A and B are shown apart, each in its own frame.
Chain A
Amino acid sequence: MAVMSFSGESKGFINYIYDRYTNLSIKDITLVFEGQITHQVMKALTGLVEEQLDEVEDDKVLRRVYHVMVESLQNINRHAEAYEYRGHPYPGMGLVLVAKNNERFQVTTGNIIEHGHAGEISMFLGKLNNMDSDGLDDLYKKQMREGILSPKGGAGLGFIDIRRKTGNPLDYSFVKIDEETTFFIFTSTISR
């Protein structure tokens, strides 16, 4: 188990995740991290999990956990809102928890978003959960053909690809912080 923390200042967010974690049947933690999710941090965390699971985990499962982590962390890197705590700005702050039991891995991420975006994200993820695998493949192809890469480098494909590659429903919730900001918690499940 690897625990890393950038600072203890924003314990509040860890608590949101911890509450959810204690309600899960999954207790075996592979990785917990809270801090600024830069590109370098994303590579370090995915590399760490890859190293821990190499040799002990099925290749296919390992590849999917790795992919889900890359996509989820890049989402935070691109979209997490900066927030201020005690006068310090925290751009791209986020949280990640990777845990497993005998049946599955769960990758949970948490980050701040603008409150106004919560409805849109929720609708999109709900739509993905209601689609079958053919529908998801079609949507992925359509988005690849017609989608435009955002200035932040996102292709709008991450959530769709996580949903279709894992085959499992996406779990998501929103915790309102104030009028402007919401904490977005997102969990992907990879069957073992």
Chain B
Amino acid sequence: MKPGKKPKSYFKLRIYLVTGFFLLFFLAIFGRAVHLQIIQGPSLKKMAAKQHRKTLNLQSKRGDIFDRNSKELAVSVEVDSVFAQPNKIESPRTVAKVLSPILGVSFFELEKKLRKDAGFVWLKRQVDLKDEQRQIVKELDGIGIMKESRRYYPNRQLASNIIGFTGLDANGLEGIERYYDSMLKGTSARFTGEKDAMGRTLVYQDPDKTVPLEGMEVELTIDKTIQYVAEKALKKAVDKYGAVGGTAIVMDPATGEILAMANQPSFDPNDVGRFDINHWKNRAVTDVYEPGSTFKMFLIAAALDEGLIKPSNSFFCENGNYRVADRVFHDHEKYGWLDVSHIIKYSSNICSAKIGEKLGKVQLYRYMKAFGFGSRTGIDLPGEATGFVRHYNKWSGVTLHTVSFGQGVSVSGVQLLSAVSSIANGGFLMKPYVVRSVKDQGGHVVSESHPVVTRRVISAETAATLTEMLVGVTEEGGTGVKAAIEDFEVAGKTGTAQKPDFKSGGYARGAYVASFVGFVPAKNPRLAILVTVDEPKGEYYGGLVSGPVFKEIAEESLAYLGVFKANTSAPNMEVEGDAVPETDGGEALSDPAELRPMAVPDFHGKSVRMVLRIAKDRAFDVEVKGSGRAVAQHPFPGASIPSNGPVVVEFR
């Protein structure tokens, strides 16, 4: 027997006591487990599920926006956004002190945020951090950086009213950004997933969804250079005449493609907040105005098309005073007898009213609707205005007369220019559009726009006759001489419309919209341009205020496009950049109007794929030479589609 074996009986008792204590302890633990898992289980389970589930809005990289020559108009760049998890921060004071200079946020404001009883709070979004600053921020406990995509507009004000802008969460708020928001966003799919305690998204269960599809790229019909030219010219006039605003639209009349759309006032989409909300809108599309005399060309078009008048028919202009019912109409100068060509050339209100009388309200109304007034053109931009054309049943005694010279109707800029383009286009009204194609990130074309003929409005003969008359407007003695360009015939019309005064119900004294609309070259037109200047001070005649703007835009754009004077062949030289020498359809087009939308499109810069597609749509043959982008073609753009052979397109 060893010493110490004696107290063994008590020893056993003590061991049993300890063992018993442990068994009870385990029993209690088991009881607690039952309590937690069975009794409280369902309610705890619900709470757990709630914190796991979260509607994720995985932000994909927003697609870029390009002009027609693939020049960047809007791009997405990755920037840092700094957030805090206040619950994990031990000393808000210290952290706030460190972060305040880095983020440029006041110490007081930061500390307040850091003391919030929240799991997550943004401290500063979309901030530019230097590498060493980023390092400091990363080392702070409870502070993190998230990569966010920020929209950047490299050309600042350029085309801002078309492009629009995005909000902080990268959703399009205006312009193309808004109209094509879902495509630019890509499949920023909202789906339910798991989130972890840090609010990070875990999509580990579905690897297919971990990479959100990036937004698509949008290529506009806008040409950055022409846009720049238009903005520059417009701004000059608006500044010169102290006008409240203005627009300039440039369209390819054969296709309906918008090449430029300038607005004044404008804004810098990189810093939207600095500008009044009034600067954001694209007034060429969203605003309406009374067209005034520019509208006369549609009256003449209708009367010509109906065979009621000929250019040589004369009307008596009442020497500037024409009483109808209780109204007396005036011309700005007193005219006697004028033929139709000169009625347009001098812009006589009285004779226009007389032509209106001859045409009748039903026909006038019918033609206005056919030209697209009173209904949206369907342009792919947000907020398009309808304009206002009262039904002829509701016309009063003089409405027919006033409408004949463009009073009592309202139109949007894009609407008017489309209508004018139909005259340039042999009578075919084209649907205007600003987006050429949408591509995914892999460069595959998702959707592509093609010229769409809305309807034939007038006959080709009418269009040709009218065009000739409109050329007169810019010739010696016409109201639009200031819009005339050397070497080219310009077809156009001036407009000087008093602005309606909504308070008194009449017209505002001294408040005018001075406009000029036209197309150039008159035969085989390449550009249709509308210029409106809102409330110019001093001068207010459309021909004086807007005519020169038209001229400047047209001249510079034609030179840029490499369109040269008729009957002078292009200088035989290598032209740098995008400009490719093209002749103005050297072969005489006996009746250009008849050939327009059946003319060869401008393939310059297009891909093989796109060229083939256009050719297929328009049902003509194409011979492809080389690969890449189209650099040359025969016949030239605007020439008639040959009936006995393919259109040859060279690519490089």
Asked if A and B are interacting partners, one says: no
